[in-house]
Structure 1
Amino acid sequence: MSGLMHPRNPHPSSPTMSAHSPHAHGNKARRLREAAERLLAAADVRIDGPRDSDLQVHDARVFERVFAHGSLGFGESYMDGDWSARDLPGLLTKLLGARLDERLRNIGTLLLWAQARFVNLQRGKRAYVVGQRHYDLGNDLFAAMLGKRLVYSCGYWAEATDLDAAQEAKLDLVCRKLRLRPDMRVLDIGCGWGEALKFAAERYGVRGVGVTISREQAAHASALCAGLPVEIRLQDYRDLHEPFDAVFSIGMFEHVGARNYRTYFDVVRRCLAPGGLSLLHTIGSNQPPNRPDPWIARYIFPNSQVPSMRQVAAALEGRFVVEDWHNFGPDYDRTLQAWMANFDAAWPRLSQCYDERFRRMWWFYLAASAATFRTRRDQLWQLTLSAEGVPGGYRVPR
C-alpha cells in the first residue's frame, strides 16, 4: 500500500487541515485497512499473506468499496482487479464460514431484501429477464464449461468419478425416481438445453414437452431433440393447461420467486395425471427467506431467489405428499470445481468473445458458489411428490 500513500503534510503546525488533504486521505486509507485486517482475522485470512487463501491487495480502494457496499463492492472490486487470491474458492470458503458477509450488510442489501419479499419480480416481462441476461449469454460459453452434456445443474457423484458421469447419473436418478416407462408423456419445466428430455426419451422411451424462457436454450434444445418425440416451447410455465404422466423441473425453481411458489405447485398439480409423480431439483438455502446476494442479483441471476425449506414446505401444504426429500448439496462443490476447470481450460478460445472483466466476474461467480456449498450455507434438494400419496408407500431410489 506504500505506493498509494501520499507524502505527509510538510507543515504539521498548520491550524486547520482539509478532510481532502493528502494526510487525511492517508489516515482514512490506513484506518480502513486496519479495520479490514481485524475483520479478516476472524476468518483466518491475512492481507498480502503467504498462503494461497490469503487476500492479495492490488489497489487500496478495495477497502472503501467493501465497507461502503458490502458483498456487492467486494465482488465488483475483484472484477476490476483490485484484489486477488491464488485459491479464490478457498478464500471465499473462509469468509463465508466465518459469516463475514453478515457483518457487511448495508442499506442497499436491506432494500434488495425488501424488494425480494414484497415485489413479485418474476411475473410478466420480468420472468424473461434472467433468460435474456444469463442463459442467452452464449451457448459457446456454456458448452465449454458444462462438459459433454449441456446440463447446468448439480451432478450426482455417489459413484461417478468425472463430471460427465455425474451428470448422466443425475439424469438417470431423476428418471428412476419418477418411475418412467415407455410412452409416458412427461413435462420438463425449465428444460434448459433439452438434455434431460433427450435422455429420458432415448433411455426410457417417453414422449415429452419442455418449456423455457430462454430463446438460445429453446433453439438449441429443439435441434438437440430433433427426431425424438419431444416438443420444446418458449413459454411461461404458468400458461400450461394439459395433462402429463410425470412432471419434473431441474434447476429452474430458483427463478420462480417466493411469491409464486404456490402458483408453481398449483400448475404442477393441475398438469399431473392421477397417480403421477413430480420431481423438483433445486438449490435450497439455510438462510432466512428472501435474502438474495446483491452481487449475484446484479451480475448473475437477476430477479432470482434461492428458496428456504420453510417456504417450500408451506407452498406444498394441501397440494402434494412429499414422498422423498433428498439432499446431496456437497456434490455441487465437486460439480462447480469441474466447471471452473473447464472454463479455465477454454478461456484462450472464449477470450475472443468475452473480455477480461467478464472472465473475472464469471470466475468469482463459480468460486463463490463452490464456497457456498462447501460451507453448507446452501443445499441441493430433490423432492419427489405425489398428489394423493403412493399406495403402499414409495420406495426411494438412490
Structure 2
Amino acid sequence: MSQDSLKQRATGLLEHAGIHIDGSGPTDLRVHDERLYSRVFAHGSLGLGESYMDGWWDAGDVPGLFTRLLSAHIDADLKTLDTLIAHFKARFINMQRGENAFEIGRAHYDLGNDLFRAMLGRRLVYSCGYWAQADNLDDAQVAKLDLICRKLRLQPGQRVLDIGCGWGEALKYAAEHYGVAGVGITVSQEQAEFARELCRGLPVEIRLQDYREVDETFDSAFSVGMFEHVGPLNYRTYFEVARRCLRNDGLFLLHTIGTNSTPSRPDPWIEKYIFPNSVIPAASQVTEALQNLFVVEDWHNFGADYDRTLTAWRANFDAAWPQLSAHYDDRFRRMWQFYLSVSAAVFRSRRNQLWQIALSPHGVPGGVRVPR
C-alpha cells in the first residue's frame, strides 16, 4: 500500500476520534516524517511509540490525544503481530519465575534513583496517590499511605509484611506513625539499598528477595503497585504466599492497577521499553486466584486519581530535565514523556482502574467498616 493510501487510512481513523493530521488543535497530530504511517500500521502501538521517540511526530497535548484515541477505541484497529506475540507470551509462558522475576528490577527500577527522586516528589512512592482531600502530589501520597494503614487497622507492636516495598516509604510511614515493625521485599537492588538507608533506626528489615521465598507469619500484609509484575500464571501462588504469611485474624491489602475488561493483552511498547514481563490483571483473574483463600472485605476503586498522579509526575520530570539531561539522552526524554502521557490517558479514558482490595482469611466477625 502506498504512503498516500496509508495516510488516507490514518486520516479516516483519526477523524473518528476528532484528531486531525497537521491540524492546529492541541490534540492534533503533527507529522514530521511520512514514514510514520507504514510504521504504525505494521507495528501498531510499538511503531507509534518508537516513532515518537525518534521525533517523527508530535502533539501539543499528547495525553489529550491518546485520551481521544482510547475513548474512540482506535487502538482496536491497530492489532498487529507484535500485539499477538506479547499476548501469547503473557498467557502461556511464565516470564516472572526464577531469575526472570528480577528482570523488572534491573530494567526499570534500577534506572537511577536520581530519575525517580526528581519525578515522584518528596516521597519516593511509585503508585497512585489518593486525591480525595489532597490538592498536590505530596499530600496525595501521604493520604494514600495513611489510608492503607487505617484499612489494615495497624496497631503498635504489630509486625507487617510489604510485598514489593519499593524504596521503603510505606513501611517507614507505618513504623513512624503506627508503631509497627516490618519486613519489606523487593527485586530491585537500587530500591533495597535506598530503603535500608531510609528506614535506618526503625524496626524495618529490607530484603532483596522473590516474594515466593517468604514463609513466616505477620499480623498484617500489604502490596502496593507490585501485583502488575506477578503475571497471570502466578496469581494463585501469589495469594497462597500472602495467605500463609498472614495470621488467621490478619488483614491483607492489595493495591493494584486493574482492567475492567477481559484479561488484557500486554502493550508491546510498554513491554519493550518500560515494564518487561508485566501484565495488568482483570477482576475475573483476581477473584479466581483468591478463591477459598480470602474473603473480600472491600474493593475500592479510585482509578481516576491516577490521571492526576501521572500528570504531576510528568510535570516534575519536565521541570527536572535540565539536571537529568546530564545522565539521560533526548530519546530517553521522549520515551519517558510518552510513557507518562499515554499512561495518564489510559486512566483518564477509564480503560484501567486502581483497586485497593481488603482481604481477610476467614471474614472479620461483624464485617469491616473500611475507611475512605
Same fold (TM over 0.5): yes
Q: Is the 8 A contact 1:116 1:290 kept in 2?
A: no
TM-score (normalizing by structure 1) = 0.93
Within 5 Å, give how 1:27-42 maps onto structure 2.
28-42=2-16
What residue is the counterpart of 1:215 in the other structure?
Answer: 189
**Structure 1 gap segments, 5+ residues each:** 1-26
1:346 match:
320
- Residue in 2 that maps onto 1:44: 18
Aligned to 2:2, what secondary structure does the other structure show? helix
Are 2:262 and 1:288 equivalent residues in the alignment?
yes
CA distance in 2, matches of 1:32, 1:226: 58
CA contact (8 A) 1:93 1:371 kept: yes
Give the letter for the 1:216 counterpart. Answer: E
- How many residue pairs are counted as aligned between the two chains? 372
Q: SS at the partner of 1:63?
A: helix
1:320 aligns to 2:294 (yes or no): yes
Deviation by residue 1:133-172 (Cα, 9 ceiling, x = unmatched): 0000000000000000000000000000100000000000
Aligned residue number for residue 108 of structure 1? 82
**How far does residue 99 in structure 1 lie from its aligned partner after superposition?**
1.0
SS of 1:245's equivalent? strand
Provide runs of 4+ in structure 1 moved above 3 Å.
none
Calculate percent identity across the aligned residue pairs. Answer: 66
Whether contact under 8 Å (2:115, 2:324) holds in the other structure is yes
Confirm whether residue 171 of structure 1 aligns to residue 137 of structure 2: no
Answering whether residue 262 of structure 2 is matched by residue 302 of structure 1, we say: no
Partner of 1:89: 63
The residue aligned with 1:99 is 73
Q: Does 1:390 align with 2:364?
A: yes
What is the letter of the counterpart of residue 209 of structure 1?
V
- What SS does the corresponding residue of 1:312 show, helix, strand or coil? helix
CA shift for structure 1 position 105: 0.4
The partner residue of 1:142 within 116, 140, 147 is 116
2:358 partner letter: T
> C-alpha deviations, 1:256-314, integer Å up to 9, x for none?
00000000000010000120000000000123214110100000000000000000010
Alpha-carbon distance, 1:109 to partner: 1.0
Alignment partners' CA distance in 2, 1:111 and 1:194? 35
2:20 aligned with 1:55: no
Distance 1:391 1:354 in 2: 54
Q: How does 1:258-277 map to 2 (within 5 A)?
A: 258-277=232-251
1:191 maps to a residue whose letter is C
Q: Which amino acid aligns with 1:359?
A: R
Paired amino acid for 2:272: R
Larger C-alpha radius of gyration, 1 or 2? 1
In structure 1, how many angstroms separate the alpha carbons of the residues matched to 2:260 and 2:33? 34
Counterpart Cα distance in 1 of 2:295 and 2:260 = 22
Residue identity in the other structure for 1:47: I
Query: In structure 2, what residue type is equivalent to 1:123?
Result: R
RMSD, aligned CA: 0.7
Q: TM-score, normalised by structure 2?
A: 0.99
Q: 5+ unaligned residues in a row in structure 2: which ranges?
A: none
DSSP-derived class of the 1:233 partner: strand
Q: State whether structure 2 residue 323 is matched by structure 1 residue 375.
A: no
Q: Residue 184 of structure 1 contacts residue 245 of structure 1 at CA under 8 Å; is this kept in 2?
A: yes
User: 2:324 and 2:345 mapped to 1: Cα distance?
Assistant: 25
**Distance apart, 1:108 and its partner CA:** 1.9
Maintained 8 Å contact 2:46/2:82: no
In the alignment, residue 128 of structure 1 is paired with which amino acid?
Answer: F
1:257 equivalent in alignment to 2:231:
yes
Separation in structure 2 between the aligned mates of residue 230 and residue 317 of structure 1, nearest angstrom: 31
Number of the residue aligned with 1:358: 332
